[in-house]
Structure 1
């Protein structure tokens, strides 16, 4: 009985932390976890940085789908583009490591650090139009939390996919300065 008394508050906290009210409209009904979102119009001045952002979004989207094989492919493409950008050697290595990893859970762990580094990089990049959004899930990484970038404000959690698709919140918008 004591175990139940301890377990119920923890379970309640878990659901409250990730409970998001979804708007009941046609657009929400059309969205599902099996579709990969298209990047919203955003342009960065440097072509390689712009391509890296698009490839990062694809990587995030395949993690939402919980597809480790597509994640490997998307991480490989990202690593190839990052290698063309000066000063991204550490980030390129993370993407390369992610491309060689077959375990979805390990890919998601690498994604945490990769995202943190790329958020810093994209904050310094020159945005010519559009916005990118820094999103955060407090439940990711066993409660340590995790950030990621998105091209829209709608939450599509790459750390949990369908398990907690809408867990998270927008923390910041990165826009043209």
Structure 2
């Protein structure tokens, strides 16, 4: 019975890594350099309050990529303040506050999923002056439930797993100037 459970566990792990590696087959990162950042193209949104919220959202996403719960608290707090200046984003600001109040990285990442879903809607409805916003998705996030996030760079830098599965995910949509 133990051997069957062990075999199933090993098979599940292999399937998990295979699923994530399919979408990023040519984006290997050299050993010892797992958190290489690609310079993002500057994104500008017409509404200054929404633009500021996007900048703080990106800061939070980038800190989650580095798996730093303490810095995520600070970034989420700044995002909450910015979101309160955007009409209709009060509930999203509460999600950012929840991330800021947590010291648990796993809990922060789970809440980040709900926050991302809200801001994706906000930024899709906003007017972009320059650059592109990439809606990205990791099917393995949240225990296989999946999770979306936004980025100003096309390269996948996964905030749900950090350097454990840095490039797991794919671009699902690109939001550009209309």
TM-score of the superposition, structure 1-length normalised?
A: 0.90
Matched residue count: 174
Is there any run of 5+ residues in structure 2 with no aligned partner, and where? none
Q: Which runs of 4+ in 1 moved over 6 A?
A: none
User: Do 2:69 and 2:108's aligned partners in 1 also have CA atoms closer than 8 Å?
Assistant: yes
Return the offset for 1:4. Answer: 4.1
Change (3 A) 1:69 1:144: same
Return the offset for 1:11. Answer: 2.3
User: Residue 114 of structure 1 corresponds to which residue in structure 2?
Assistant: 115
Q: Separation in 2 of the partners of 1:141 and 1:79?
A: 23
Change (3 A) 1:33 1:63: farther
User: Residue 21 of structure 1 corresponds to which residue in structure 2?
Assistant: 25
Does 1:10 pair with 2:12?
Answer: yes
User: Do 2:35 and 2:163's aligned partners in 1 also have CA atoms closer than 8 Å?
Assistant: no
Return the offset for 1:5. Answer: 4.0
TM-score of the superposition, structure 2-length normalised?
A: 0.90
Q: Separation in 1 of the partners of 2:57 and 2:99?
A: 12
User: Do 1:133 and 1:149's aligned partners in 2 also have CA atoms closer than 8 Å?
Assistant: yes
Change (3 A) 1:3 1:73: same
